[in-house]
Structure 1
Amino acid sequence: MDAVPDADVDITDALVRRLLASQHPDLAGLPLERADNGWDNVVYRLGDRLGVRLPRRGAAHRPLLNELRWLPFLAPRLPLPVPAAARRGRPAPGYPYHWAVVPWFEGRSAALARPGERDAYAAQLAGFLRALHVPAPGDAPRSPVRGVPLALRAESLAARLATGRLPQGDTLRAVFAEGTRAPLHRGPALWLHGDPHPHNMVVHPAAAGAPARLAAVVDFGDLTAGDPASDLAAAWLHFTARGRSVFRAALADGSGRPRHDDDAWLRARGWAVHLGAVMALLPADDPLHAVGRHALRQVVEECGSAVSGLG
């Protein structure tokens, strides 16, 4: 379950060189190195300061177009760097999708850091989401799988729990069910990152004894508008109980009042179960496998038999 989908197109070094030479010839001579072959995109490092992001399947094309349109609008409003395109690429012979040249951010994936290390940037991530989570315009993109009522993900979670590969399945079901019973999001649809898990955060390599700091937030392929609860699930994906406490406190508005009520956090914890299950069933060598396992452990440790319906 949840193997990386097959690509629609074979993205090779030679193909990327051809695309650059024909559309951005001033960049074509820079060193080029494949950096990541992800779920939706292939990413190359281009020279010291740039990257090339290319959809590897048709389902990833529309999300990239959303990034190309909206990230330049959002970037100036956000307290951390994001990969707003420096150059745009068009479909060409041998490659059917738009693509982008983006900034390259030095650092490492936060998924490779220990959860206790990630606690150090809890307030920083909260500040980023606080700035992002504002009312979105009516023509903002909408996702069928993020920012939507949690109950729409029930069938997906049930299939994953049915594999028997996830521990404490009864507890996870109860936590998820509690989230689905919480009242739905009221008010305007807010801008959401859509997938703010640790592998989409770049952290500065910490010096000995120095706390981890976020250098950038990347991969806005799931950029959408809706209920912020799916983004708030980051509290369990990234942090320990200590970090979650800091994260929640730092989300308060300027007067110190919480921006999200208890119902939003119940939905968020349900999202953490769903997203944690998705990631935990990835292959063990995928960085998100450990992230998912961590999130599910955090939920179980936090809730235990106190969750409504566990008895």
Structure 2
Amino acid sequence: MTSGRTSAVPRSLDVRLVRRLVAGQFPRWGELPLERFPSGGTVNAMYRLGDDLVVRLPLVEGGAGDVAREREWLPRLAPLLPTAVPEVLGAGEPAEGYPWPWSVYRWLPGELPVAGALTAPEPLARDLAGFVAALRDVDLPHAPRAHRGGPLATLDAETRAALDALRALPEEGVDCDALTAVWEDALRAPDPDGPPVWLHADLMPGNLLVDGGRLSAVIDFGCLGTGDPACDLFPAWNLLPPSARKVFREALDVDDATWRRGRARTLSQALIALPYYRRTNPAMAGNARHVIRAVLAETA
């Protein structure tokens, strides 16, 4: 997702370089089959290593800090969560001309959910709510601040710039006036009245895995930390249909102000992504269009 961590010129990687990195630092895995795993992600590249491992490497400097964050916090969070999360098995370091830390993880099976093609949307909504609720209940000291976990107003300038960019793209057919009204309504919503909570902070469909329609794993914790609980309501609009959205909200007992902030945060991410990725990343652009349609339908 476009989150301030991307770059116009991603770091070039290929199988030969990744194989040299693995063989040089983890020789026990050096002879395993290695292939690039296709992904719509923009911050990291993934390479399947044998049957049970995956190598994940930052493509941009902004993603390098995520590596340390996951190494530090995932082992502490994993026992407290009801859903599988990535397990770091190898901590790779810069070498072979590659400048950033990288990691080898245990492979997590599952498929990426697709909005509009969910086989069990309401059970999935309950699974997602269970994960979010468990994360909110985590009580670990010295938590980092979640990426974009602060006040909604901190996103105002970037969101309005994205709306202006979309006004210049009439072929997208976006009702920018209606979306501006949604955004401004959320800015008037009360701020959280409790302490910051633990967040994944990037619950995009590409960071979820499902098996038999049910949530089997949550991946990519590079944005994790504490902040506004509205930040983890993203699936309500970027994945779930209206009936399952209601199940998700009821399971989390979300009040009106938090719902408005969550909808606006999801919308902001979509508005920023659409003009940025419309020609270069079909998955990101497609999900952004889905979010815009979902928000407009809900607020009409």
Relative to the length of structure 2, the TM-score reads: 0.89
Q: CA RMSD in A?
A: 2.1
**Superimposed CA distance per residue, residues 177-226 of structure 1 (whole angstroms, 9 cap, x where no aligned partner):** 1111111112221111110011111122x4xxxxx112211111111210
Shift of the alpha carbon at 1:7? 4.5
Task: Choose the corresponding residue for 1:149, options 126, 148, 151.
Answer: 151
Please say if residues 190 and 257 of structure 2, whose CA atoms lie closer than 8 Å, have aligned partners that are also in contact. yes
- Residue aligning to 1:98: 101
- Residue aligning to 1:271: 265
SS at 1:11's partner residue?
A: coil
2:202 is equivalent to residue 214 of structure 1: no
Residue segments in structure 2 that go unaligned for 5+ positions in a row: none
Stretches (4+) displaced over 4 A: 135-138
Please say if residues 115 and 240 of structure 1, whose CA atoms lie closer than 8 Å, have aligned partners that are also in contact. no
In structure 1, how many angstroms separate the alpha carbons of the residues matched to 2:191 and 2:15?
47
Shift of the alpha carbon at 1:51? 0.2
- Residue aligning to 2:290: 294
Shift of the alpha carbon at 1:67? 0.7
- Residue aligning to 1:85: 88
Aligned pairs for 1:20-169 (under 5 A) are: 20-36=22-38, 38-110=41-113, 112-114=114-116, 116-117=118-119, 119-120=121-122, 121-134=124-137, 137=140, 139-143=142-146, 145-163=147-165, 164=167, 165=169, 167-169=174-176
Shift of the alpha carbon at 1:30? 0.8
- Residue aligning to 1:241: 242
- Residue aligning to 1:188: 195
Structure 1 residues 249 and 115: alpha-carbon distance in aligned structure 2, compared to 1, 3 A threshold: farther
In structure 2, how many angstroms separate the alpha carbons of the residues matched to 1:15 and 1:225?
36
Shift of the alpha carbon at 1:267? 0.7
Shift of the alpha carbon at 1:116? 4.9
What amino acid is the match of 1:286? P
In structure 2, how many angstroms separate the alpha carbons of the residues matched to 1:193 and 1:149?
16
Q: Which moved more, 1:72-81 or 1:37-46?
A: 37-46
In structure 2, how many angstroms separate the alpha carbons of the residues matched to 1:186 and 1:82?
29
- Residue aligning to 1:254: none
Shift of the alpha carbon at 1:138? 5.2
Please say if residues 67 and 84 of structure 1, whose CA atoms lie closer than 8 Å, have aligned partners that are also in contact. no
Q: Which moved more, 1:134-143 or 1:97-106?
A: 134-143
User: Identity percentage over the alignment?
Assistant: 39
Please say if residues 279 and 293 of structure 1, whose CA atoms lie closer than 8 Å, have aligned partners that are also in contact. no
Shift of the alpha carbon at 1:84? 2.4
SS at 2:88's partner residue?
A: coil
In structure 2, how many angstroms separate the alpha carbons of the residues matched to 1:191 and 1:123?
19
SS at 1:102's partner residue?
A: strand
What amino acid is the match of 2:204? H
- Residue aligning to 1:308: none
Structure 1 residues 138 and 107: alpha-carbon distance in aligned structure 2, compared to 1, 3 A threshold: closer
- Residue aligning to 1:171: 178
In structure 2, how many angstroms separate the alpha carbons of the residues matched to 1:280 and 1:126?
27
Aligned residues: 288
Shift of the alpha carbon at 1:135? 5.4
SS at 2:91's partner residue?
A: strand
